[in-house]
Amino acid sequence: MNIHEYQAKELLQKFDVATTRGRVAATLDEAEQIARELGDIDIVVKAQIHAGGRGKGKFNNGFKGGVHVRKTPDEVRDVAAKMLGQILVTHQTGPAGRLVNKVLVAESADIAREIYFAVLLDRATAAPLIVASTEGGVEIEAVAAKSPEKIIREPIEPLAGLQPYQARKLAKQLGFESSQVKNAPKLFEGLYRTFIAYDCSMVEVNPLVITKKSEVLALDAKFNFDDNALYRHPEIAAMRDRAEEDPREVEASKHGLNYIGLDGNIACLVNGAGLAMATMDIIKFYGGEPANFLDVGGGATEEQVTEAFKILIADKKVKAILVNIFGGIMKCDVIAQGIIDAAKTVKLSVPLVVRLEGTNVERGKQLLKESGLALIAADDLGFEPAWRDRSPQLVDVIRSDRFRIVSEHQRAREIQTLGRATCDLVEIVLFLQQRVRRDVFEREPVFA
Ligand code: GDP
Ligand code: MN
């Protein structure tokens, strides 16, 4: 889950991370009023959307830039009028852009230097990592591509946390002067504590600025939360802005489905994240593009399957649907009934390919047959015989001790690679899942 900049700054302030004074406004009157309260100073007006690159963005009405500095409450009102209710397009929003419903009106910082600073979860080491650069304010991806030596990486041992010597080292590497080397570590520690306290997967401050008066401030902030930990933070869950999210994903989350919208046109409905990844990989392998990731899980009800199916059918981009179910805990007849119920309420206008295997498969196939639905039954997904020969060897490799899984991300990659080369997909996916579960307990220390 993401939040807006103004919300991120509220969280940072709780951990003594210095930001600028200001508040969010949804109307022109509010924007003007906040500007008056801030007093006779330079004021910055910033469009609030869940995407970066606002500074260099462009509104559909032709107005350039989602970040502007003004001097008087009247001027603040004028610039807010050009932003509120308008679509802002940035390099992160895609051409469709995002509707601006709110603007942040804040004290403008007198910037001397802009720095990039982020705490994120490094999937490769399964530990927090600080990424920083003296080249702040600009796109960090561009810095990484052009001058990788300017990216500083400081891994954090999760049990020990950010050590004072690490904070001092970072301050030096980032070129803080000796007078600032005192304040900077306090700010770094505040950012790290925020990251841990809210179960973030990323806290990114770009830019972190040094002002002409040598203050160190977080001028922009982007947070990413681990959705699986949201139940521990009701105050964060309350910050959710559904208007910023993919409507397909909003609908799916209402029904407890693991759904991620993608840009392709082949919808897939699968049970189990590993099998879902492998299915998407098969689609890509054969030159298709998946329209979504959808894991209906092991314990989905008929209603959930029906809702899942409705989301797939309602998606205008979808040109075909592939259902790939391996019935373990999930029963094939439940899936079949869900599909039939969905097809009753929403007209099925695209080809539907269904592959069912496992528990209650005969009953499931029977139900589909009797329903009279025009669907294509598939018994295998086109694995080539040549792959079968390589398969046993692969199974040996993953069973050997050389094969370790240190992160979800890596697991996904392994499964993709394996998915390409093996026919015994389901067995491997299940084996990997088991292996990952065990790995949680057997993992070697990261910094051993
Ligand atoms: P982003 O473009 O969406 O990442 O939005 P930012 O909040 O990072 O703002 C973009 C740029 O606008 C920053 O890199 C700064 O150069 C500038 N900017 C942001 N806030 C202020 C401010 O308070 N005063 C001044 N003078 N410039 C600012
Ligand atoms: Mn920024």
pLDDT at 422: 43
Ligand 1 within 6 A of CB of 260: no
Catalytic choice (204, 244, 307, 414): 204
Ligand 1 atom closest to the Cα of residue 138 is 14
Catalytic status, residue 231? no
C-alpha angle 226/227/233, rounded to 5°? Answer: 85
- By alpha-carbon position, which residue is closest to atom 11 of ligand 1? 55
DSSP 244: G
Average pLDDT over residues 259-274: 89
Ligand 1 within 6 A of CB of 108: yes
Q: What is the best residue among 7, 68, 219, 244 to mutate for testing ligand 1's pocket, by most ligand atoms within 8 Å of CB?
A: 219
- Taking each helix axis from N to C terminus, what angle separates 385-399 and 408-421, rounded to the nearest 10 degrees? 150
Average pLDDT over residues 187-205: 96
pLDDT at 177: 86
- Residues with Cβ within 8 Å of 46's Cβ and at least 6 positions away in sequence, in order, are 5, 54, 66, 67, 103, 104, 106
Looking at all shown ligands, the one closest to residue 217's CA atom is 1
Consecutive H or E run containing 398 = helix 385-399
Q: What is the 3-state secondary structure (H, E, C) of 314-379?
A: HCCCCCEEEEEEEECCCCHHHHHHHHHHHHHHCCCCCCEEEEEEECCHHHHHHHHHHHCCCCEECC
Q: Are strands 67-70 and 87-89 parallel, antiparallel or unpaired?
A: unpaired
Structure-model confidence comparison of residues 197 and 248, the more confident one:
197
- By alpha-carbon position, which residue is closest to atom 9 of ligand 1? 55
Q: State the distance from the centre of ligand 2 to the C-alpha of 96, rounded, in angstroms.
A: 20
- Residue 351, token pair as written in the block: 């080809």
**Can you tell me the distance from the alpha carbon of 165 to that of 156, in angstroms, rounded to the nearest whole number?**
12
pTM, rounded to two decimals: 0.72
In this predicted model, what pLDDT tens digit does every residue of 378-401 receive, in sequence order?
765 544 444 344 444 444 444 444
- Residue 244, token pair as written in the block: 């910023």
Ligand 1 within 6 A of CB of 22: no
pLDDT at 424: 47
- By alpha-carbon position, which residue is closest to atom 15 of ligand 1? 137
pLDDT at 366: 93
Task: Say yes or no to pLDDT of 73 above 90.
Answer: yes
Ligand 1 within 6 A of CB of 53: yes
Which residues fall inside 5 Å of ion ligand 2, going by CB?
206, 220
Q: State the distance from the centre of ligand 1 to the C-alpha of 135, rounded, in angstroms.
A: 14
Average pLDDT over residues 102-124: 96
- Residue 338, token pair as written in the block: 């869900």
DSSP 289: -
- Residues with Cβ within 8 Å of 145's Cβ and at least 6 positions away in sequence, in order, are none
Structure-model confidence comparison of residues 284 and 36, the more confident one:
36
Of the candidates 63, 107, 69, the residue with the CA atom closest to the CA atom of residue 84: 63
Looking at all shown ligands, the one closest to residue 205's CA atom is 2
- 85's torsion region: left (phi>0), alpha (psi -120 to 50) or beta? left
Q: What is the best residue among 114, 205, 220 to mutate for testing ligand 1's pocket, by most ligand atoms within 8 Å of CB?
A: 220
Ligand 1 within 6 A of CB of 328: no
Map tokens 């490769």 to a residue. Answer: 124
The pLDDT mean for the chain works out to 85
Ligand 1 within 6 A of CB of 220: yes
Which pLDDT band holds residue 95 (cuts at 50, 70, 90)?
confident
Ligand 1 within 6 A of CB of 105: no
Q: What is the best residue among 67, 107, 114, 143 to mutate for testing ligand 1's pocket, by most ligand atoms within 8 Å of CB?
A: 67
Of the candidates 440, 435, 444, 442, the residue with the CA atom closest to the CA atom of residue 415: 435
Ligand 1 atom closest to the Cα of residue 114 is 14
Catalytic status, residue 116? yes
In this predicted model, what pLDDT tens digit does every residue of 328-344 receive, in sequence order?
888 899 989 988 888 88
Ligand 1 within 6 A of CB of 92: no
Burial of 170 (0-12, 13-18, 19+ CB in 10 A): buried
In this predicted model, what pLDDT tens digit does every residue of 117-135 receive, in sequence order?
999 999 888 899 999 999 9
**Can you tell me the distance from the alpha carbon of 259 to that of 77, in angstroms, rounded to the nearest whole number?**
40
pLDDT at 379: 65
Ligand 1 within 6 A of CB of 174: no
Ligand 1 within 6 A of CB of 67: yes
pLDDT at 430: 55
- By alpha-carbon position, which residue is closest to atom 6 of ligand 1? 220
- 256's torsion region: left (phi>0), alpha (psi -120 to 50) or beta? left
In this predicted model, what pLDDT tens digit does every residue of 291-318 receive, in sequence order?
999 998 877 888 888 899 889 988 888 8
Catalytic choice (5, 30, 114, 116): 116
- Residue 334, token pair as written in the block: 């439940």
- Residues with Cβ within 8 Å of 316's Cβ and at least 6 positions away in sequence, in order, are none
DSSP 246: -
Q: Are 26 and 85 in contact (CB under 8 A)?
A: no
Map tokens 């709780």 to a residue. Answer: 14
